[in-house]
Homo-oligomer: A and B are copies of this chain.
Amino acid sequence: MQPVLINGKWREAAASGSFQAYNPATKDPLPDDYPVSSWADCDVALHAAVEAAKHLRRLPGAQVAVFLEAFADEIELRKESLVAMAHAETALPVAPRLADVELPRTVSQLRQAAQAARDGSWTRPIIDTKNNIRSCFMPLGPVCVFGPNNFPFAFGSLSGGDFAAAVAAGNPVIGKANSSHPGTTRLFGEAAHAAMQATKMHPATVQLIYRTSHADGERLVSDPRAGATAYTGSRPAGLRLKAVADAAGKPIYLELSSVNPVVILPGALEERGAAIAEEYKSSGLMGAGQFCTNPGLVILLKGAATNRFLALLIEKYHAAPVGTLLSAAVEKALAQSVEILQAAGATALVGGAARSGGTGYCFANTLLQVSAAQFLADAETMQTEAFGNAALVVVADDIEQATAAIEHLEGNLTGCIYSHTGGADDAECERIMVALSPKVGRVLNDKMPTGVAVSAAMNHGGPFPATGHPGFTAVGIPTSIHRFAMLQCYDNVRPHRLPAVLHDKVPNDTIWRSIDGNWVQG
C-alpha cells in the first residue's frame, strides 16, 4: 500500500480500506494499492497544517516563490514518469496533450504563481494616509484541494491552478488525490516533497492523502482548523461538501457542472457554416468532451442554413474517432445523462448509445436534438450535463424562443455567440447577449469555449451552480489567488508591526498599491 505524505514524511496511512486506479484504455487495474484514509490521517494533517499556516503567514512572498519555482523544476525533472503515469491512469493522449500542452501549462502556472507571490500585487494593498488605515489580503489558513478527473496536471490537487493559488497566497495545502489518478498525484507529492526540503519550507506546506469516506471528507472541509476548500468535480459531491462547509462558515470554491451554451445565428451559418461546424466538432470532441467548458448545448434558429449545418455536423460526428473516457464512472454517467435527455424527448441525430467493441471506456460521439418548445417545457431536465462526447442541439422557431431558452438557463462557466462578421445578425446578437451575459462567467464571440487562457483577465467561474460564488475565478493569476485570502485592515497600527506590503517603503519596485485612491508601483 502506498504511503500518505503528512508533515513532511511519507508514512503508512491509518487506512480503512484501499483502492486501485484503472487504465481506461484497457479497463485493467493498475498495480499500486492506495489507502482510504481514516479520520486519524485527516486530523494529523490538519494539526500539522495549522503549524505550517502560522509559519507561512509570516514568510516573505519571495520565499514562497522560491519554493514554487523549485517545485516547477522538480516537475520538469519528472516529466517522463509523470506523463507515462497520467497516460496510464487517464488515457489522455501523450501528444498533443499531456506532454506538450498540459504539463507546460502546469509548470507555467506554478511559475506565474511564484512571480505573483514575489511581487505581492495580489495582496492588493490599499493605503489611506490621511486616516492611517491600511489593508491588504492575507492568507486564510490550511486549504483542502479536491482536484477533478479530467486534468491530472493543470487542475491536479497538488499541481493545478487551485494548488498554485492557495500556496501563492501563503497557505499550506492538504491535497486529496482524484481517485482516478492517484499515481500521478503521488508523483507530484514526491516533487513537492523534494522542493520543500530543498527550499527549507515548513514540512506540512504540502500534504497528500488519497481518499477518505464521504463523512470524513465532509468533516475535513468543515473542521475549525480548515481555512478554505477548493473542489472541482461532480455537482452532487460538490454540493454535499458545500452544505457542510457553509454551515461551518468555511469558504468553499466549487467548480461544478456547466453545459456552456453556444448560440450560432443564421447570418454566421450562411457566411461560414462549414468552418463553424469544423470548429464546433473539434471543441466538442476534444478530450472526448471531458472539459469543464465543453460546449454541450447548441442553440440554433430554424432554417435552411441550420439544416445544412446540422447535416454537416452529423457527418463529422460519424467520421470522428471515438475518444477514450476517463473511467467506468464517466462512461456510466454519460450513458445515464443521454438516456435522461432522450426520455425527456430528445432524439439522437448521431450516436446516443454505448459503442460496442473496443477495449476501453467509451461512448459513441453523440448529438441529440430538441425543439426550443420541448426545451422550455422541461428546461431543468434538458440542462442535464452529459459530461463527455455528447451535446444537445436546441432548434428555436425564432429569436424570441431562443432568447426564452437562454433565460431559462442555470448559471454556466461560458456562453458563446457566433454572428455574421458583417453585422447581419447584430440585432439578434444584442438580444442574445443581454439574456446570456448574466448567466455566464465568460462571454465569447466567434470562438469556442474550450480554450481557457491563463490570463489575469480570464474568468473561469460563473453563477451557481457552475460555481459556488459568481465573484471568483479558478483560472488566471493573480485574480484566482484572492479566493484563498482574507481581507485584513490595520487601523493606526505601529509601522514596525505592519506586513511588508503596507510599509511606507516596500521591498520591491514592482508591487502595485492603491495609495489615497491612486494606483502606484513600488
Contact = CB atoms under 8 A, between A and B. Distances in A.
8 contacts: A126-B479, A128-B453, A135-B457, A440-B488, A444-B492, A445-B492, A458-B489, A462-B486
A243 interface: yes
A428 to B, nearest CB: 12
Contacts of A127: 457
Given A250-B464, A251-B469, A461-B487, A128 B519 contact: no
Interface of A: 54, 57-58, 126-128, 131, 133-135, 137-138, 140-141, 242-243, 246-251, 411, 414, 429-430, 433-434, 437-438, 440-447, 453, 455-459, 461-465, 468-473, 479, 482-483, 485-494, 497, 512, 514, 517-519, 521
Contacts of A462: 486
Given A135-B458, A447-B492, 17 more contacts: A57-B434, A57-B438, A58-B434, A131-B455, A131-B457, A137-B471, A249-B463, A430-B497, A437-B488, A442-B489, A442-B490, A443-B488, A444-B491, A444-B492, A444-B493, A445-B491, A471-B486
Contacts of A464: 248-250
A132 to B, nearest CB: 9
A459 B249 contact: no
B492 A133 contact: no
Contacts of A446: 492, 494
A126 B471 contact: no
B247 A243 contact: yes
B471 A485 contact: yes
A463 to B, nearest CB: 7
B489 A453 contact: no
B455 A473 contact: no
A429 to B, nearest CB: 7
A183 to B, nearest CB: 34
Contacts of A445: 491-494, 497
Given A128-B456, A131-B457, A133-B453, A443 B243 contact: no
* Residue of A434, A438, A463 most packed against chain B (CB within 10 A): A438
A437 B491 CA distance: 12
A313 to B, nearest CB: 22
Contacts of A128: 453, 455-458
Contacts of A468: 249
Given A251-B471, A464-B250, A459 B442 contact: no
A153 B127 CA distance: 27
Contact of A457 (B134, B411, B470): B134
Contacts of A440: 488
Given A249-B465, A251-B470, A489 B135 contact: no
Contacts of A247: 243, 246
B491 A442 contact: yes
A457 B488 contact: no
